[in-house]
Amino acid sequence: MNEKSKVVLGVDVGSTSVRALAVDALSGRMLASATESLEIHRPSPGWAEQSSDQIWTATGAAIRSALHSAAIDVESVVGIGFDATCSLVVLGPQDEPLAVSLESESKWNVIMWMDHRAGKEAEDINRTAHDCLKSVGGKISLEMEPPKLLWLKRNHRQTFDSATKFLDLADFLTYKATGVDIRSLCTVVCKWGYQASSNSQSWDCTYWNSIGLPEFANDVRRIGAQVRNPGERIASGLSPEAAQSLGLCAGTPVATGIIDAHAGTIGCLATKTSETTQSQIPLDQRLSLICGTSTCHMMLSETARYVPGIWGPYYGAVLPAMFLNEAGQSAAGSVLDMLLERKRAETGVTPAVSEVTAYLDRSEAERGALAVAETARNLHVWPDYHGNRSPFADPSMKGAIVGLTLDWTSDAYLPTIYLAHVFALAYGTKLIAETLEQNGHKAIEVVYACGGLAKNRHYMQVHADVLNVPIVVPNCDESVALGSAILASVAANIYPSLKEAMVALGQPGTTYYPRDELQTFHAWKYSKFRDLGNFIAHFK
């Protein structure tokens, strides 16, 4: 790199890996990326734990590898940003890890977002009907942090009492990087019950008292006394200890972090296409899909919109002075993986997703898209195999397949089963979009999608057909990490605002357009999907 280069780093900590991305802060050119795997510890069914020490070590390894692969001089790195899953990190008096279950060693000190141990605690919190619950669609999810905190208090009191810091994973990373305990407005407002608006921001002590956690009512130091906007620079930047761990220079600006799906929204919402009209569509008419193991549906607005069964409105969680509603499907990519894994259990061979989609593509080329879709006409799927996040907000909901025949275990039937599940996931997104629009959001004119599932061309085309709007997908695999790099560019004062940084660093993309010949078919199938969902919601 030449001496005038300015490089920003985005670090994305997902469920199974850490990815580090280096970006030219002036041109937006992606220079290098590297990935390190993470381990998931499962001491009981439905539980998922990780190690914050392992995450930090993997972060350093990924950064060093990315810089080395592109021969980037560390002195050219002018900023670093972090995003992560909304997992709970527990630290003791010396910042040592504390075990989050009696069955685990102390190194397993992270309760992952996907961990469902706190179901009863979530139910107990929801029975309080506290006003703070209005900002999570009226019902808190067991994936959020207050139920997990309450679970720890009830089931692992030693850890709960000994802990001096409970942090969202993104905030742990910025704390580890700087030594300063700053919490992101994104993490605390979306996952902790922090109350924020254009007029005020604060913890609500009555909330903690009402849900059985009075320890945090008048002393918030363990959950965050200082809250900053995503992208805001933290203190003096990288500490000497962190700089050594990460292979960077001490004092490098560090941005206040963000949740991974929210970073993906920043990274993909300004994707560049040849259609100038798409870039002119207001932000509050763009839906972003962060598609992977699960899917997050992110919708911005200039005024607060309270939507039953959908999280938010969250003030400032993505962009300053804008509200966010966040919906989701707890299982998306994992649903399709499950189908392929079932075939492995039967045959000993796991079909690749690419094999199935290639077969569907060939079939569409030979017979037409409508003819292929018709093969799944009478196969109806409700895909909530891991509960429903939105809009029913019911983690106890189950999946269903209706219309099976004796041929359903045959190899020839796999593409049809797969297609029916892709349809169902797209219908779930359509149901979320309709719920948003029925509760005050403007009509969605375009969808921006990123994440692992966004690489699946067939999956994206089906979503465009079902939603009947264009879907824009960045021509890169790094939109989430790019979102954190954009935060870093603001912390480094390269750009004066997140919006300007998004436009400057946005990547080129591809647009999928809805196919007219499928609209009648999907309208009929969607009506049956709604009927099936209403039946399952009441059949317990």
Topology alike, domains 7-258 and 261-329+440-515:
yes
- d(Cα 107, Cα 70) in Å, to the nearest integer? 33
- Which stretch of 32-36, 39-43, 289-293, 410-414 has the lowest confidence by average pLDDT? 410-414
- d(Cα 276, Cα 256) in Å, to the nearest integer? 32
Higher pLDDT among residues 540 and 447, named by residue: 447
Residue 490: its H or E element: helix 479-491
Domain 261-329+440-515, CATH: 3.30.420.40
- d(Cα 277, Cα 332) in Å, to the nearest integer? 30
Domain ranges, ordered by start, for the chain: 7-258, 261-329+440-515, 333-430+518-538
pLDDT by residue (tens digit) across 378-403?
999 999 998 999 999 898 899 999 99
CATH topology of domain 7-258: Nucleotidyltransferase; domain 5 (3.30.420)
Mean pLDDT score, 212-233: 97
Would you state the structure tokens that stand for residue 480, as one six-digit string? 């989430």
Would you state the structure tokens that stand for residue 537, as one six-digit string? 């919601």
- d(Cα 513, Cα 462) in Å, to the nearest integer? 10
Residues 171, 175, 176, 178: is their CA dihedral positive or negative? Answer: positive
pLDDT by residue (tens digit) across 168-216?
999 999 999 999 999 999 999 999 999 999 899 999 999 999 999 999 9
- d(Cα 324, Cα 103) in Å, to the nearest integer? 38
Give the closest residue to 111 by CA, choosing from 60, 43, 61, 62. Answer: 43
Give the closest residue to 337 by CA, choosing from 465, 471, 459, 430. Answer: 459
Give the closest residue to 540 by CA, choosing from 431, 390, 392, 424. Answer: 392
Tell me: pLDDT of 267 over 80: yes
Contacts of 20 (CB under 8 A, 6+ apart): 9, 10, 11, 12, 33, 34, 35, 59, 62, 63, 65, 66, 481
Radius of gyration of the CA atoms of the chain, in A: 23
Residue 126, number of CB atoms within 10 A of its CB: 19
Tell me: pLDDT of 1 over 70: no
Question: What's 38-67 look like in SS3?
Answer: CCCECCCCCCCEECHHHHHHHHHHHHHHHH
Task: Give the single-character DSSP code of 288.
Answer: E
Give the closest residue to 178 by CA, choosing from 110, 100, 232. Answer: 232
CATH topology of domain 333-430+518-538: Methane Monooxygenase Hydroxylase; Chain G, domain 1 (1.20.58)
* pLDDT given for residue 346 in this prediction: 66
Which residue is listed with tokens 């008048």?
A: 218
Secondary structure class of 18 (helix, strand, coil): strand
Higher pLDDT among residues 405 and 432, named by residue: 432
- d(Cα 148, Cα 169) in Å, to the nearest integer? 14
For 478-539, strand residue ranges (E) read 509-512
* 423 neighbors 378 (Cβ within 8 angstroms): no
Packed helices 145-155 and 119-127: angle between N→C axes, nearest 10 degrees: 110
Tell me: pLDDT of 276 over 70: no
pLDDT by residue (tens digit) across 30-71?
999 999 999 999 999 999 999 999 999 999 999 999 999 999
Tell me: pLDDT of 3 over 90: no
In the chain, DSSP finds a helix count (H) and a strand count (E) of 18, 22
* pLDDT given for residue 347 in this prediction: 67
- d(Cα 100, Cα 108) in Å, to the nearest integer? 7
Beta bridge partners of 32: 22
Mean pLDDT score, 415-439: 97
Whether the ω angle into residue 313 lies within 30 degrees of 0, i.e. cis, is: yes
* pLDDT given for residue 38 in this prediction: 98
* pLDDT given for residue 360 in this prediction: 93
Tell me: pLDDT of 4 over 60: yes
Contacts of 157 (CB under 8 A, 6+ apart): none
| Average pLDDT along the chain | 94
Contacts of 164 (CB under 8 A, 6+ apart): 91, 92, 93, 222
* 41 neighbors 110 (Cβ within 8 angstroms): no
Q: What ranges in 348-440 are assigned the alpha helix state H?
A: 353-367, 369-374, 414-438
pLDDT confidence of 538, banded at 50, 70, 90? confident
- d(Cα 442, Cα 437) in Å, to the nearest integer? 6
